[in-house]
Chains A and B, each alone.
Chain A
Amino acid sequence: MIEAPIVLDVEIRNWVVIPILIVLFIVSALKLNFSRILQLKSNRDQDVEKTMQMQTINRVRRLTSFYNRIPQKSFFMRKAFLCGTPGATNPKNRGLLSSIAPAQEDSNPMNMMFANSMFTDPSGMTDMLKGNVVHLVPQITMMSWVNHFFSGFVACKLPFFPLTIRFKAFLQRGIELSSLDVSYVSSLSWYFLCWFGSEGINNILLSDNFVSPDTQLFNSQVEPGPPAQQNPIHKIYDGERENIEMIRYDSIMNNIENRFLDNLSKKTSLDLNTLNNLNNSNNNNNNNNNTLTKIQKTKTKSSSSSSSSTNTKRVLYQKPSLK
């Protein structure tokens, strides 16, 4: 069956196809500038405070888990820094964890509202909102504009090889004709095609200051922001302060020498053979004879119990006798 080609009115090209293109371009340029203005105004100070709080919590948690690895003096110094000296009235001496007063937080009803809701970060909320406004609103307006004025007719014909029937829904939105060739495009579909394809063109035309959506990632900081916190920060601080105050200091360095030698003697029972082999092979070496006598000398001086041993290494890895 041969289809007679449909002749499209020139007016359609002049008043539909080209205007959609131009309007799309103008809108994306506007969108760009608009989003930049909004971005400039977004408040970054909040970020610093936020990171600082997160890092403080992190640091305090690390202190509560690994306090036994630092000397007692240093631990108490940190405790004083974080929890303050007991009974201090001067707010300066109250410590970092008491620095955020709950009253100050509550005085701001906006903060309260956000603190109690899922989103504690109001700046994140507004950022999201702004992004939506900038991207979504023009999108919807444009679509309804195109749909309202230019629906119901074929806008242009694509000069390509015939596409399969599957593309019909995509290319002929708003036209329900089953027999129409797929290469004819409705106005709404033309709008979508232009919209998807416009990024490259914008890139060239607005190249100096155009930021395409996927490259905004590059624009932003490398480090993702701290995750949203469920509880208000001063409550976490209070909890952590209690944790620190509950710690009864005990160092893992106590009696570490004996513990180390003990463990060594347990663990090396396996390695002992290799060590002995090494020793034997080195016995031919002149140098080593010296070594052995030397070791033996020190041995007899330090502990008299092991005088009979011929293999000094073996003596070494015996469990030290504790008296």
Chain B
Amino acid sequence: MSISITTEALGKIHLHSFKYPSSSVNGILIGKADKNSILVKDCIPLFHTQTLLPMFEVAMIQIEKYCRDNNIDMVGFYHSNQSLSIDLEPEPISKKISERLYNELNNMCSLMVTKIDDTCTSGLVLLERAGSDNWVKNRKALIQ
């Protein structure tokens, strides 16, 4: 599966996390997806405090409408932990949301913000589903 992301979306994700360096941030990725490729065209930043259900559900309903109006799909979820240590697991809520999106969308990806360095120039890591409610980092997957 190949994932590509536009500069605009990438910039939005990172700027969102830079704006709130001390909290966990997350948002929804939108773009085009088919069976074995995902193109992330844009993203909609959601939370930079704790993610609680009510406002998340509100956001999902509205994003759904937005996607339908603009003829675009929800293709995934991005998030960043509170602290940027390299080997931290994604927070439980992120796993939960990824799981929920996985069940509802036919093809999706879950991205996690990490340090930008030589090994990871995009600053994003793909999370892969390993059983229900369990998502692990896959460092090898390249994101263009």
Q: Is A in direct contact with B (CB under 8 Å) within the complex?
A: no
